[in-house]
Amino acid sequence: MSSLAGSIPVRLRSPPPRGGCVPTVEALRFGTMPTAAQEWKALLSGVYGERRHESPLRFIPSNPRCKLCKAPFRAPGGLLLRPFGFRPWPKNPNICGRCFTEMDQHAKRCPTPGEGEAVAGAEVELSMLFADVRGSSKIARQMPASEFTRLMSRFYDVSKEVLFAADAIVEKFVGDEVVGLFLPFLTGPDHAGVALQAAQDLLRATGHGGDGAPWAPLGAAVHTGTAFVGIVGSRGSSDFTALGDPMNLTAHLASQAAVGEILVTEAAMRSAGRLLDGLEHRHLSLKGHPADAVVYQVT
């Protein structure tokens, strides 16, 4: 077995041994092992990010590669490894789906806090971007269904292109809305700054900031907070997602953004190291949840 992409074990010829948690110095001193939740937190927070440079898969041609385990996606190496799961992950094709499969299996080998408890994630700080097509119902009434479908398909494609370029995980598309997650293990510690830049890029890519009207009128929101991130669901129907009040707050905030606006919480601005001076401030009550945000206009 070889440990790639941090502590994510990748089976090359033989299955990994049981008890695959990576012990810390304290664990070795006091005879304890990290729990599954602690291991997930370390993985998602990028604690093991430097180990990706040790991956032996980096020697197999050719680029582009998985950012975590360095598995090649292109021939000749990509053709050999693809049957074993080393293929671009749909939620972010810059990494391979095998890494997330192994991440879950690796964490399950760690002890859990309670007997029989299944932990498939952890609470970590991240930044979230929600963007939706404003007035989509009205737009749909004004054009044939096939034309509206092509419009939304174009919006999905452009959104994925922008978010993947920013190393975001496309959490989901819901009707006229896209949700992007910016996690430290992919974006680095400046996930808030990356999310804010991605929001601006997405609005520009949909025609905002130019002379004419945007081809997809968007409103967006960016927030930074601590949420549960991991694999949620039952057997045969699970998904990698984020849950918690920060996700709800960002969704509600995006619903308040006018066309061409990015509403950014003060938490995200502080995390990104951006100045609040000179920006329009709004105090909003989002279904009983007070929030302070600043308004970004794309020019």
115 is a domain residue: no
Cα-only R_g, the chain: 21
Q: Has residue 188 been placed in a domain?
A: yes
Give alpha helix (H) positions in the chain: 25-30, 36-44, 77-81, 97-108, 136-141, 145-165, 184-187, 191-205, 245-255, 266-272
Are 139 and 285 in the same domain? Answer: yes
The single residue listed with the structure tokens 């969704």 is: 251
Task: Write down the pLDDT at residue 22.
Answer: 54
Q: Which residue has the tokens 């598309």?
A: 173
Give the pLDDT confidence of 114-153 residue by residue, as tens digits.
544 555 789 999 999 999 999 999 999 999 999 999 999 9
The sign one gets for the Cα dihedral 202, 204, 207, 213 is positive
Same domain, 275 and 185: yes
Looking at the fold, whether 82 and 159 belong to one and the same domain comes out as: no
Identify whether residues 101 and 152 lie together within a single domain: no
pLDDT tens, residue order, the chain (299 aa):
433 333 333 433 333 333 455 554 444 344 455 677 788 888 888 876 666 667 899 999 999 999 888 999 999 999 999 999 999 999 999 999 888 777 767 666 665 555 445 557 899 999 999 999 999 999 999 999 999 999 999 999 999 999 999 999 998 888 899 999 999 999 999 999 999 999 999 999 999 988 889 999 999 999 999 999 988 876 666 788 999 999 999 999 999 999 999 999 999 999 999 998 889 999 888 777 788 899 987 86
Q: Is 77 inside any structural domain?
A: yes
Structure tokens at 196: 């804010």
Where a domain ends, among 46, 74, 108? 108
How many Å separate Cα 108 from the centre of its chain? 22
- Does 93 share its domain with 230? no
Q: Are residues 87 and 59 in the same domain?
A: yes
Residue 16 to residue 21: CA distance in whole angstroms? 11
Q: Are 8 and 101 part of one and the same domain?
A: yes
Q: Structural domain tally of the chain?
A: 2
Distances (CA, A) of 16 to 12, 40, 43, 55: 9, 18, 18, 16
| Inside any domain, residue 114 | no
Range of the domain at 265: 121-297
As a whole number of Å, the end-to-end CA separation of the chain is 52
Return all residues near 207 (Cβ < 8 A) that are at least 6 apart: 213, 214, 215, 216
Output the domain CATH number for residue 149.
Answer: 3.30.70.1230
Predicted local confidence at residue 105, as pLDDT: 73
CA 278 to chain CA mean position, Å: 30
| 7 φ, ψ (degrees, to nearest 5) | -105, 15
DSSP element (H, E) containing 291: strand 289-297
**Do residue 181 and residue 263 come from a single domain?**
yes
- Whole-model pTM: value is 0.84
Residue 278 lies in a domain: yes
Q: Is there a single domain that holds both residue 82 and residue 169?
A: no
CB 127 within 8 A of CB 222: yes
Q: Is residue 254 part of a domain?
A: yes
Residue at 176 is within a domain: yes
Query: Phi/psi at 98 (nearest 5 deg)?
Result: -60, -35
Listed residues 108, 140, 160: the one ending a domain: 108
Whether residues 85 and 126 share a domain: the answer is no
Residue 43 lies in a domain: yes
Asked if 127 contacts 224 with a C-beta cutoff of 8 angstroms, the reply is yes
| Phi/psi-derived region of residue 205, left when phi > 0, alpha when psi is between -120 and 50, beta in every other case | alpha
